[in-house]
Amino acid sequence: MYAVFVSQVHKVVYPHSPHEIDELELRIGDYIYLNSDAVDNSSDGWAEGISWLTGAQGHLPVNYTERTAESDAWTLHRVVQLSKSITPSLTSNEECDLVDGRSLSTETEDHLRHRDLNQVGIHASELIEGSSFNEDSEQSVEKYLRKTLKPCLDIPTITNNHSSNQQQATPLIEITPNSMSTPNASGDIKVEPIPAAPPKADDTLSQHSAENSMSLSSKNRRVYIMRHGERVDFTFGTWIPYCFDEFNNYMRKDLNMPKTLPKRSNIPDGWLNDSPLTNIGLYQASLIGEALYDARVQIDHVYCSPAYRCVQTCTSALEGLKLTGKHKIKLEPGLFEWMAWYPDGVPDWLTKEELQAAKYNIDTEYQPFVAINNLNESIKETTEGFYTRNYDVLRKIIDSTVGNVLIVAHATTLDTCTRQLIGEAPRNTNELRQVIHKIPYCSLANVEEIDGQWKLVEPDTLPVTHSKNPRFEWNALTAT
């Protein structure tokens, strides 16, 4: 006996790491069950949903998902066995699908009721009219699970060259004819272990590694655009009153805060709109640089927003790339954020001299494409004007240089610089706000010139993700 219902099912198109205990983790390829009323009545774009993959429940940003077609939304909620027939076991080593160490085929009935039969090909009427859970339908579910989860499992397979229809299996050894022996009735063979391929840079996801190896041989010109790392003010909130004494001396109040800050003329107010990075932010940037180094990425020119957090990110990324001291950082005000967010004008950035005194390798002779005075005149720029400003700067950088370029700036930069470069129109304000929420710290976008056309391509590195770590208060242990 079966109960089959049509439900609103959404497919995850962007990953999301929970920042609160009631949030739901989103994994690309997973399906989320959402209540239509909850989605329609949401005032902030968040709704409560249930993961098809894990059965977990929590709140999620709906715009990180897209609704599936109604024909793809059939859900098997409950299976009740009416006969004493025993279905084939799915718990053998070859049959069992594992995610996070758990068998999908042997999960509890409560978890099974959240399984989506998307693309299995079983018509709803067949399920309703069926009088028993036959072997064909069970195998269809199994095949769907294996197909859906194969990118997660990453099980290597080989096919026998003598038969294209031979079933694939996990390779242990390869059996080939012994060319050194005279053929005889016994059919001499030799057993050769499959040679282990040397590990490649960032070889943690098979799909990424396969395409990454192709990118290594590419000689096309590339521009790497990177967002800055985790910033102090967004992590700790109003931090300045607690970290500066009456003499304006800086005092660290958390291990994730910088030990020291460079000297600047306007202390402490200069840090209000020009936040430093946290120590985690510095490490994030270094990880990206190390991954680019492992991928053998060549950088020929370095440009950076004048914001201190971007200068720090750029410096740490260059350290990871083992390019410390080899490239001077060109500060370009034209790469700064949307001026509509700064009605009082550009922040009080550190000067080139102050950055040099703090041991940052700044190109003091560089003449920017957009001067600070011109930027101050753009405090009422439209969204389209913002896109055009960033794009024009990138276009001038490309036209005035040869080789690969690294640009370190802001979340918006990954879209505003590349959108028109690849032939797309600028986004409107709402679309811009939606897209920047999908660009976390130290995100990296790659554009490559292919046959005279610039295209967004898969980055040479994996993304970097970390969870939010709440502050520990030791006296919580003394509570009665």
pLDDT tens, residue by residue, 281-338: 999 999 999 999 999 999 999 999 999 999 999 999 999 999 999 999 999 999 999 9
Residue 410 pLDDT exceeds 70:
yes
User: Nearest-CA neighbor of 81 among 193, 1, 161?
Assistant: 1
Helix 279-294 and helix 308-320: axis angle, to 10°? 40
Averaged over 108-123, what is the pLDDT?
41
At 75-87, the pLDDT tens digits run 444 444 444 444 3
What kind and span of H or E run contains 125? helix 124-129
The one catalytic residue in 16, 114, 228, 301 is 228
Residue 144 pLDDT exceeds 50:
yes
327 included as an active-site residue: no
Strands (DSSP E) contained in 373-476 are: 405-409, 444-450, 453-457
Task: Point out the least confidently predicted range of 13-27, 184-198, 338-352.
Answer: 184-198
pLDDT at 218: 55
Range picked from 132-136, 253-257, 471-475 for highest mean pLDDT: 253-257
The one catalytic residue in 10, 208, 264, 410 is 410
- Spatial neighbors of 63 by CB under 8 A, at least 6 apart, are 45, 434, 437
User: Do the Cβ atoms of 268 and 350 come closer than 8 Å?
Assistant: no
Residue 54 pLDDT exceeds 70:
yes
The one catalytic residue in 114, 227, 309, 389 is 227
Task: Point out the least confidently predicted range of 66-70, 203-207, 306-310, 454-458.
Answer: 203-207
59 included as an active-site residue: no
Task: Point out the least confidently predicted range of 158-162, 259-263, 297-301, 406-410.
Answer: 158-162
The mean pLDDT of the chain is: 77
Question: What's the CA gap between 381 and 373, in Å, rounded?
Answer: 14
- Where residue 260 falls among pLDDT bands split at 50, 70, 90? very high
Residue 97 pLDDT exceeds 80:
no
- Where residue 52 falls among pLDDT bands split at 50, 70, 90? confident
Residue 117 pLDDT exceeds 60:
no
Q: ∠ at Cα 318 (313, 321), nearest 5°?
A: 130
- Residue 14 burial (CB count, 10 A): 13
Averaged over 89-105, what is the pLDDT?
35
Residue 65 pLDDT exceeds 70:
yes
Residue 439 pLDDT exceeds 70:
yes
Which has more confidence, 388 or 193? 388
- Where residue 140 falls among pLDDT bands split at 50, 70, 90? low
User: Do the Cβ atoms of 72 and 7 come closer than 8 Å?
Assistant: no
User: Helix or strand or coil: residue 29?
Assistant: coil
User: 43 to each of 51, 433, 461, how far by Cα in Å?
Assistant: 22, 15, 36
pLDDT at 42: 82
Whether omega for the bond prior to residue 268 falls within 30 degrees of 0, making it cis, is yes
Question: What's the CA gap between 381 and 104, in Å, rounded?
Answer: 53
Residue 71 pLDDT exceeds 50:
no
User: Do the Cβ atoms of 295 and 216 come closer than 8 Å?
Assistant: yes
227 included as an active-site residue: yes
pLDDT at 150: 52
Range picked from 8-22, 126-140, 152-166 for highest mean pLDDT: 8-22
pLDDT at 45: 84
